[in-house]
């Protein structure tokens, strides 16, 4: 018999709330400018570019063109790792939120690109859409701050002596994140989600999910490792090293996109309330636990799917990220009017620094309080 996670209810938004205000103002922006909230032409062009980052190097590898030089060979795997980051943040992410297109089939097709990258889109939607976006930084419910005992990513987590060095070694763990994901994590998650009653939200049984996941993993291993071993004209271990290099690149890249948005000193990291009732409304909770970075960089916003505008994304995940730079000033102004913070770091480097600083603070010895 499956058990369910305890429900946590957010405080009512109230009348004339912050969330009501931003919804009205953002909606007015799209209506007045006669803009669709989903992907525009620029987004579609970017989609093609991101797919090329991944699939063109793959074709060059599997056809043996890259065998002329190991530098070129490994360089192409590196580009594929960058392509994973680009597709994951710019295409798959919006699609699985239903933000890419008004057509559900288009969203489903592009959302399932994650399966081709080695993941499992059903698990991703549960972990990201349901748990992370609803219970951001809430200990025990947001899996994005659950990194096992090696990393302490919340002040509510148990501290070990070795955590004092986590601001140094965390980056190496981030690198292997994707390798763990494509090999072990998805299987662990489906059993966990079945136990918690979350697989039902994807309308799939555990048995069917296992078969589906196994088929996806078999297909992935076949095309990404077996075919290059057979046709790339390089040694099998070079292919395995290239595959590993690709995922080390992608793991570090993805971590550097997502972690500075939530695991920073400005976040509140609430504990699970005993009463299962939160003090803040959902929208206020999101803005208190999310941060933007590098708002002036068009290159950053282009490549990482507007996820440097995480506040906008968390408040309006059904809006395509291509529109975030335009609606960001609306949300920032409204937050000020409601005396709410709007956390933002001016540069990407500064955001990474602040995340590293938070890891350092979370690893410092906890001083006992005076009686």
Confidence label for 367 from pLDDT (cuts 50, 70 and 90): low
Q: Which two tokens stand for residue 201?
A: 């939200």
- Report the pLDDT averaged over residues 258-263: 95
Residue 1, pLDDT > 70, answer: no
Q: Is the pLDDT of residue 15 over 90?
A: no
Residue 369 binned pLDDT confidence (cut-offs 50, 70, 90): very low
Q: Reply yes or no on whether the pLDDT at 69 is more than 90.
A: yes
Handedness of CA 218, 222, 224, 225 (dihedral sign): positive
pLDDT at 14: 76
| Residues 276-292: tens digit of each pLDDT | 888 889 999 999 999 99
Can you give the length of the chain in residues?
A: 371
Read off the pLDDT band of 272 (50, 70, 90): confident
The strand pairing partners of 60, in sequence order, are none
pLDDT at 6 over 70: no
Q: 228, 60 in Cβ contact below 8 A? A: no
The answer to whether residue 12 scores a pLDDT higher than 90 is no
- Among the listed ranges 15-29, 180-194, 271-285, 305-319, which one has the minimum average pLDDT value? 271-285
pLDDT tens digits for range 32-43: 999 999 999 999
Q: Say which residues have a Cβ less than 8 Å from residue 333's Cβ, sequence separation at least 6.
A: none
pLDDT beyond 80 at 30 = yes
Distance CA 159, CA 360 (A): 12
Give pLDDT, residue 356.
Answer: 97
**Alpha carbon distances (Å) from 244 to 96, 147, 178, 182, 247:** 26, 21, 9, 11, 5
Judged against a pLDDT cut of 90, whether residue 7 lies above it is answered with no
Model pTM score? 0.92
Confidence of residue 16 (pLDDT cuts 50, 70, 90): confident
Q: What is the mean pLDDT of residues 233-249?
A: 96
For the segment 201-228, the average pLDDT, to the nearest whole number, is 95
Q: What is the arithmetic mean of pLDDT over 192-218?
A: 93
Quickly state the pLDDT bin for 315 (edges 50, 70, 90): very high
Q: Is 369 left (phi over 0), alpha (psi -120 to 50) or beta?
A: beta
pLDDT in tens, 87-130: 999 999 999 999 999 999 999 999 999 999 999 999 999 999 99
pLDDT of residue 2: 44
Q: What is the pLDDT of residue 371?
A: 39
The pLDDT value given to residue 370? 46
Average pLDDT, the chain: 93
Do 194 and 213 touch, CB atoms closer than 8 A? no
Between 1-5, 52-56, 142-146, 247-251, the lowest mean confidence (pLDDT) is in: 1-5
> Which residue bears the tokens 């399966």?
115
Domain boundaries, the chain: 18-363
Model confidence at 221, pLDDT cuts 50, 70, 90, reads very high
pLDDT of residue 171: 97
- Decide: 217 and 115 in contact? Cβ < 8 Å: no
pLDDT value of residue 4: 58
pLDDT at 193 over 90: yes
Strand partners, 293: 345
Share of the chain above pLDDT 90, in %: 86
Burial readout 149-172 (b: 16 or more C-beta within 10 A, e: otherwise): eebbbbeebebeeebeebbeebbe
pLDDT value of residue 139 = 87
């Amino acid at each position: 018999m499956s058990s369910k996670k305890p429900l946590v209810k957010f405080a009512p938004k109230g009348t004339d709330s912050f969330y009501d205000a931003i919804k009205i103002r953002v909606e007015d922006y799209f209506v007045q400018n006669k803009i669709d909230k989903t992907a525009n032409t620029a987004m579609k062009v970017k989609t093609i570019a991101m797919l090329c980052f991944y699939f063109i190097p793959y074709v060059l590898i599997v056809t043996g063109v890259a065998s002329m030089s190991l530098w070129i060979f490994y360089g192409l795997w590196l580009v594929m790792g960058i392509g994973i980051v680009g597709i994951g943040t710019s295409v798959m992410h919006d699609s699985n939120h239903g933000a890419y297109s008004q057509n559900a089939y288009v969203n489903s097709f592009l959302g399932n690109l994650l399966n081709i990258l080695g993941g499992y889109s059903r698990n991703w939607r549960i972990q990201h859409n349901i748990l992370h976006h609803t219970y951001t930084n809430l200990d025990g419910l947001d899996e994005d701050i659950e990194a096992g005992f090696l990393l302490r990513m919340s002040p509510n987590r148990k501290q070990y002596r070795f955590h004092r060095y986590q601001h140094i070694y965390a980056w190496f763990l981030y690198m292997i994140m994707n390798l763990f994901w494509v090999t072990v994590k998805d299987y662990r998650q489906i059993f966990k989600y079945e136990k918690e009653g979350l697989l039902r939200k994807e309308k799939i049984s555990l048995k069917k999910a296992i078969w589906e996941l196994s088929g996806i993993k078999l297909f992935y291993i076949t095309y990404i490792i077996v075919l290059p071993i057979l046709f790339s004209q390089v040694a099998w271990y070079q292919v395995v090293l290239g595959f590993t290099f690709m995922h080390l690149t992608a793991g570090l890249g993805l971590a550097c996109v997502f972690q500075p948005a939530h695991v920073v000193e400005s976040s509140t990291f609430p504990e699970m309330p005993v009463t299962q009732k939160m003090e803040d409304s959902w929208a206020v909770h999101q803005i208190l636990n999310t941060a933007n970075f590098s708002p002036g960089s068009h290159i950053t916003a282009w490549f990482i799917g507007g996820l440097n505008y995480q506040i906008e994304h968390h408040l309006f995940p059904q809006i395509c990220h291509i529109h975030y730079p335009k609606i960001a000033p609306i949300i920032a102004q409204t937050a000020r009017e409601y005396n709410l913070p709007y956390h933002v770091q001016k540069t990407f480097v500064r955001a990474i620094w602040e995340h590293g600083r938070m890891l350092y603070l979370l690893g410092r010895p906890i001083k006992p309080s005076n009686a």
